[in-house]
A and B are shown apart, each in its own frame.
Chain A
Amino acid sequence: MSANVNVNLLTPEFILAGMGLLVLSLDLVLPKARRGILPWIGVAGLIAAVATALIYRWDRVEELYGGVFIADRYSLFFFAFLVILGGAVMIASVDYVKQHIKFPGEYYGILIFSILGMVLMASAGELLTAYIAMELLSFSLYVLVALRKYDSKSNESAAKYILLGAFSSAIMLYGISMVWGVTGTTFYDGIAAHLTANPDLDIGLIVGLSLIVAGLGFKVAAVPFHMWAPDVYEGAPTPVTAYLAIGSKAAAFALILRLFSEGLLPAIEDWRVLIATLAAATMVLGNLVAIRQENIKRMLAYSSIGQVGYLLLGVASLGVVDAGGAVVFSERASTGIMVHLVGYAVANLAAFLVVAVVYSRTGSDQISDYRGLAKKSPYLSLVLSVALFSLAGLPFFAGFVTKFYLFTAGAEAGFLWLSGLAMVASLVSLYYYLRVIQRAYVDQPSEGDEETAVERSTFFVPLTSWLMLGVLFVGMILIGVWPTELAAAADSASDALGTVRDVSTALVR
Chain B
Amino acid sequence: MINEAGSWLIIGFPLASFVIIGAVIRPFFNRYAIVAGYLTILAVAISLGLSIFAFISVADAGGNIPFESREWLSFPGLVIPFGIMMDSLTVLMLITVAGVSLLVQVYGLGYMKGDKGYAKYFAFMSLFTASMLGLVLSRGVIQLYAFWELVGLSSYLLIGFWYTRPAAAAAAKKAFLMTRLGDFAFLLAILYIFTLGDDLLDIPHLYEAAQIGAIGATAATWAALGIFAGAVGKSAQFPLNTWLPDAMEGPTPVSALVHSATMVAAGVFLVGRFFPLFELSNEAMNTVALVGGFTAVFAASMGLVANDIKRVFAFSTISQLGYMFFAIGIGAYVAAFFHLFVHAWFKTLLFMSAGSVNHASGTFDMRYMGGLRKVMPFTYATTVIGGLSLAGIFPFAGFWSKDEIFAHAAEVDSPVGWIVLILGLTAAFMTAFYMFRVIFMTYHGKFRGGVDKENEDLRAAGEEIDEAHATARVHLAESPWTMVMPLLILAVAAVLAGYLTNPTAGYGIVDQHSFGEFMTENHQVFETHEAAVHAGAEPKFNYGIAFLSTLVALSGIALAYAMYQAKLISPANLTARFKPVHRILINKYYMDELYEDIIVRNIFYNRFAKRLASFDITILDGVNVQLASWTRRFSGVLGFIQDGQLQTYGAVASAGAVVAIVIFLFWA
Direct contact of A and B (CB under 8 A): yes
A residues in contact (CB < 8 Å) with B = 155-156, 159-160, 163-164, 167-168, 171, 201, 203, 206-207, 209-211, 213-214, 217-218, 223-225, 227-228, 231, 267, 270-271, 273-274, 277-278, 285, 288-289, 291-292, 331-332, 335, 339, 389, 394-396, 400-401, 404-405, 407-408, 411-412, 416, 419-420, 423-424, 426-427, 430-431, 434, 438, 441-442, 444, 483-484, 487-488, 491, 494
Contact assessment for A155 and B616 in the assembled complex, using a CB-CB cutoff below 8 Å? no
Contact assessment for A214 and B656 in the assembled complex, using a CB-CB cutoff below 8 Å: yes
Known contacts A278-B660, A423-B187: A412-B195 contact under CB 8 Å = yes
Q: In the bound complex, what is the Cα–Cα distance between A405 and B272 (angstroms)?
A: 27
Interface flag for B605 (CB, 8 Å):
yes
**A487 x B665 contact (CB < 8 A):** no
**Does B646 count as interface, using CB distance less than 8 angstroms?**
yes
- Nearest to B646 among chain A residues (CB) is A160
B residues neighboring A (CB under 8 Å):
71-78, 142, 145-150, 153, 160, 163-164, 166, 169, 173, 176-177, 180-181, 184, 187-188, 191-192, 194-195, 605, 608-610, 612-613, 616, 638, 640-642, 645-646, 648-650, 652-653, 655-657, 659-661, 663-665, 667-668
Inter-chain pairs besides A228-B649, A273-B667, A416-B192, 9 sampled, C-beta below 8 Å: A206-B661, A211-B661, A223-B656, A224-B656, A225-B653, A227-B653, A289-B612, A395-B150, A408-B194
**Are B646 and A206 closer than 8 Å at their CB atoms?**
no
Taking the nearest CB of chain A, how far is it from the CB of B208, in angstroms? 21
Give the most central of A156, A335, A395: most B CB within 10 Å: A395
CB-CB < 8 A to A273: which residues of B? 663, 667
Residues of B within 8 A of A217 (CB): 656, 660
Q: Please, which residue of chain B has its CB at the minimum distance from the CB of A401?
A: B73
Instruction: Looking at the assembled complex, report how far the CB atom of B651 sits from the nearest CB atom of chain A, in whole angstroms.
Output: 9
Residue of B nearest to A330 (CB): B77
Residue B78 contacts which of A231, A389, A405, A441 (CB distance < 8 angstroms)? A405
Contact B608 A171 (CB under 8 A): no
Asked if residues B76 and A494 are in contact (CB atoms below 8 Å), the reply is yes
Q: List, in ascending order, chain B residues with CB within 8 A of A228's CB.
A: 649
B75 adjacent to A335 (CB under 8 Å): yes
**Contact, CB under 8 Å: B640 / A159:** yes
In the complex, the answer to whether A168 meets B74 with C-beta atoms within 8 Å is no
Partner of B661, one of A210, A401, A488: A210
- A430 vs B78: C-alpha distance when bound (angstroms): 27
Contact of A271 (CB < 8 Å), options: B191, B648, B653, B664? B664
B73 touching A484, Cβ below 8 Å: yes
A sample of 27 cross-chain residue pairs with beta-carbon separation below 8 angstroms, ordered by A number, consists of A156-B640, A160-B641, A160-B646, A164-B649, A164-B653, A171-B657, A206-B661, A214-B657, A217-B656, A227-B648, A274-B667, A277-B663, A288-B608, A289-B612, A291-B605, A389-B153, A395-B148, A396-B146, A411-B191, A419-B188, A419-B191, A420-B188, A423-B188, A430-B176, A430-B177, A434-B176, A442-B169
Output the least CB separation between A269 and chain B (Å). Answer: 8
A-B contact count (CB 8 A): 177
For residue A201, which residues in chain B have a CB less than 8 angstroms away from its CB? 668
- Taken together as a complex, chains A and B put the C-alpha atoms of A411 and B169 apart, in Å, by 36
Are the C-beta atoms of A332 and B142 separated by less than 8 Å? no
Q: Which of B76, B187, B641 contacts A332, CB < 8 Å? A: B76
| B191 partner residues in chain A, CB cutoff 8 A | 407-408, 411, 416, 419
Contact of A213 among B192, B612, B660 (CB under 8 A): B660
A274 touches B660 (CB 8 A): yes
Contact of B613 among A289, A426, A483, A487 (CB under 8 A): A289
Q: How far is the CA of A442 from the CA of B249 in the complex (A)?
A: 14
Closest chain A residue to B606 by CB distance?
A292
Closest chain-A Cβ to B135's Cβ sits at a distance in Å of 11
Contact B612 A288, beta carbon cutoff 8 Å: yes
